[in-house]
Every structure is written in C-alpha cells, then in structure tokens.
Amino acid sequence: MTTHYFTASSLDGFIATTDHSLDWLLKRDVDPDGPMAYQEFERTIGALAMGASTFEWVMRHDGRRWSYTQPTWVFTHRSLDVPTGADIRLTQGEIAAVHAEMVDAAGEKDVWIVGGGDLAGQFADVGLLDEVWVQYAPVTLGAGAPLLPRALDLELLDVARNRDFLCGRYRVVRD
C-alpha cells in the first residue's frame, strides 16, 4: 500500500491561484490515455483525503455532483454540506488515525491525498506520505496555494511528457 500525493502545479510551485482558481490548468492539453495520466492513476486508488478548500472547489466545479466512488475523508473544522449518496467523511481527526481508517477502507488499493499542499505535508510530518506525483503546467502564477510547503528530500522515480505537461513521480526519502 502506497500513499500518494498526486497533483498538477504551476512551474513555480502553486496548485491554485490565491482565489482558488484552476482556470490556468483546465485550459491545458493532456492525453487521458497518455503517460502518467490521472485516469490510470485513479484506478489504483481505494481511498482519498482532501482539505476543505479542495472539497469546496470540486463542489463548485462539478455542480455538486460527486464523481469519486472511493470513500473520501474531508478535513475540516466546519460542518460542510455533503452531496447525498456520496461516501464522504468529514474529519478533524489525527492524521495517523485517519490514515489507518483509509488504509482499511482501501483494501488492496492505494491511498491518495488530493490536496492541498499543507494537508499532504501533514501526512509527511508523521511519516505517512510515500510518493509525490506532480504534473507541471507550462505557466507561472507568482502566488497561490503552495504545492508542498515542507522541506522534504525526494528521489525521482519516473518522468514523462504528456502533451502540455512535464510529469514527475518522486519517492519521499525518510531518514
């Protein structure tokens, strides 16, 4: 079982603008069946975690339709509205305890920290982040939501070009 942080990023390390827009990303060209594409990655995933801003973006963007079939933990201190029928668990639990629940729920599959960057960092803080996949879009934003605001040593495992994107897959090196 591997815990991944898979995200797209600007070249200067932001995953959203300061006002949580992803317009800079959604206009880019990607081959869904190409190398290191999101679709194939998602098939390996049995449980997801995301922070409240990411959840709220998905809700705004997808018109309150929830497309993930996997159980999803949303970290928040608020009681957010959850779409009917979706397997979404709001939590402010300890990262390690939530991770253990996610691993149980994922069965043979892997765990995906969707974002944001600080939430992925919280998993890294307790030694529970294994891999970081970044799809770099050909743009700089100058400011925004940070990719991964931690000091981590990474090993490059794989690299590919998928149309507009430079894709890297890294292992988190632990002492």
**Interacting residues with ligand NAP between 80 and 99 (CB under 6 A):** 92
Told to check if 76 binds ligand NAP by CB under 6 A, we report yes
- Sign of the CA dihedral running 87, 149, 56, 17: negative
Asked whether the beta carbons of 120 and 6 are under 8 A apart, the reply is no
Nearer to ligand NAP, 23 or 175 (CB): 23
> Binding ligand NAP by CB under 6 A: which of 36, 46, 105, 122?
122
CA proximity to 2, closest of 126, 108, 121, 158? 108
Q: DSSP character for 144?
A: S
Please say whether the beta carbons of 15 and 8 come within 8 A: yes
User: Is 107 or 116 the residue whose CB approaches ligand NAP more closely?
Assistant: 116
The verdict on 112 binding ligand NAP (CB under 6 A) reads no
**Does residue 16 belong to the site contacting ligand NAP (CB under 6 A)?**
yes
CB 78 within 8 A of CB 22: no
Residue (of 53, 70, 51) closest to 122 by Cα position: 51
Residue 8 makes contact with ligand NAP by CB under 6 A: yes
CB of 33 to ligand NAP, least distance (A): 19
Site residues (vs ligand NAP, CB under 6 A): 7-8, 15-16, 20, 22, 25, 50-54, 57, 75-78, 92, 114-116, 118-119, 122, 145
